[in-house]
Structure 1
């Protein structure tokens, strides 16, 4: 007998069948999904678009600590007892985002093993990425950090096919993500463009040759600052 091919678990299809506690909303570019200090009472799933996660310190200093894109969850801190949001999440482009209230997603995680397995795998992979980001911030030059950020935004090294064209993103935002100045980002971006690693004219196209900056300690490519 021929084997029946196992169908991959489709998160979008599954979440659209969740009974109750689910809403879908459209967010315009720069619109806030939730703000730092809001009640943490739900988990969000990005069906389309990209969002940024920002934290503001007591001194008023703002830092972008993460970017999420289609297929990502965010706001899951509520599941571990987090009472208030620790960050502000806003749309970087027009987005379609699903909100699942805490009670609904808790029930689904308990009753649906396939979704629970997928969700846990996602969280573990993202935790590994956070650790990589920390190592990157501590030990790599800002040039390498920028190259790695661009590759991650283009989906290199993640599941699924790379999406080398990144919607327009400001150099100020990139500088906040990398932890350097806008002028340094401008210098590195010009260097990457001249070396053929990227191309930009409105949208930003990232070529896999940019991996050379991350993988090789080449004096020709190395930035001097940390």
Structure 2
């Protein structure tokens, strides 16, 4: 088998501005939410469906002991809270705002369900987003099963740099500020493990850090670190 190639659609940072939700959002205003706001908890029913106009919302798995794992981060154009329309079950993840100044359309689930019955474009949009999420989740299972810790961290850094950076002086300067704990929560690794891996990438001149912000100096080497097979210690 040839070397695994990763695509934009494999990223857990999901932005879908091309989706047209105007049949649901026309003539409606958004609601402002601050970082940390929780729309609903895992295994909780919610009477609303949400569409992101601006900002990011994390879908999180939580345990009774307080452990948290981010499965994906939804961005502009994504819909969430719509799972139970199709199967009647509670939401499978906690939905939490992880950016400043989020602007979200809050829609009645009953009204969305009624629109879905009469407008196939909405169903098609949901299928497009579901397809993107399915591809991403399969990639996450692959990373957890066949890549060591460094490969997993490099995968997420690669997609952060691809989606939230500016090209300057041959480097990808990230404008999305993140902490080692943020990376730990999305990789399923410990914060100490992530810190050690990132320190190693800085030492190897793959990453640089200035004023608390990281830049990727060598995207090809970052990509190469992902494809080193084997399960490492966490």
TM-score category by the smaller chain?
Answer: 0.7 to 0.9
Structure 2 residue 199 is matched with structure 1 residue 179: no
| Unmatched runs of 5 consecutive residues or more in structure 2 | 1-16, 166-173
What CA RMSD, in Å, does the superposition of the two structures yield over aligned residues? 2.9
2:148 corresponds in structure 1 to 141
Scaled by the length of structure 2, the TM-score of the pair is: 0.74
Q: Residue 31 of structure 2: which of 25, 32, 54 is its match?
A: 25
Structure 2 residue 200 is matched with structure 1 residue 191: yes
In 2, distance between residues paired with 1:29 and 1:103?
27
8 Å contact kept, 1:40–1:77: no
1:80 corresponds in structure 2 to 86
How far has the Cα of 1:15 moved from its partner?
4.5
SS in 2 for 1:118: helix
8 Å contact kept, 1:142–1:179: no
Q: Residue 202 of structure 1: which of 198, 209, 212 is its match?
A: 212
8 Å contact kept, 1:167–1:204: no
The list of structure 1 runs, each at least 4 consecutive aligned residues, that deviate by more than 6 angstroms after superposition, is none
Give runs of aligned pairs for residues 114-125 of structure 1, distance below 5 A: 114-125=121-132
1:169 corresponds in structure 2 to 178
Structure 2 residue 37 is matched with structure 1 residue 36: no
2:169 corresponds in structure 1 to none
Q: CA separation of 1:73/1:151 partners in 2, compared to 1, >3 Å: closer, same or farther?
A: farther
Structure 2 residue 233 is matched with structure 1 residue 225: yes
Scaled by the length of structure 1, the TM-score of the pair is: 0.76
In 2, distance between residues paired with 1:195 and 1:26?
42
8 Å contact kept, 1:45–1:98: yes
| Unmatched runs of 5 consecutive residues or more in structure 1 | 1-7, 157-161
How far has the Cα of 1:97 moved from its partner?
1.6
Per mean C-alpha deviation after superposition, the further-off stretch among 176-185 and 201-210 is: 201-210
1:57 corresponds in structure 2 to 63
Q: CA separation of 1:198/1:68 partners in 2, compared to 1, >3 Å: closer, same or farther?
A: farther
1:89 corresponds in structure 2 to 95
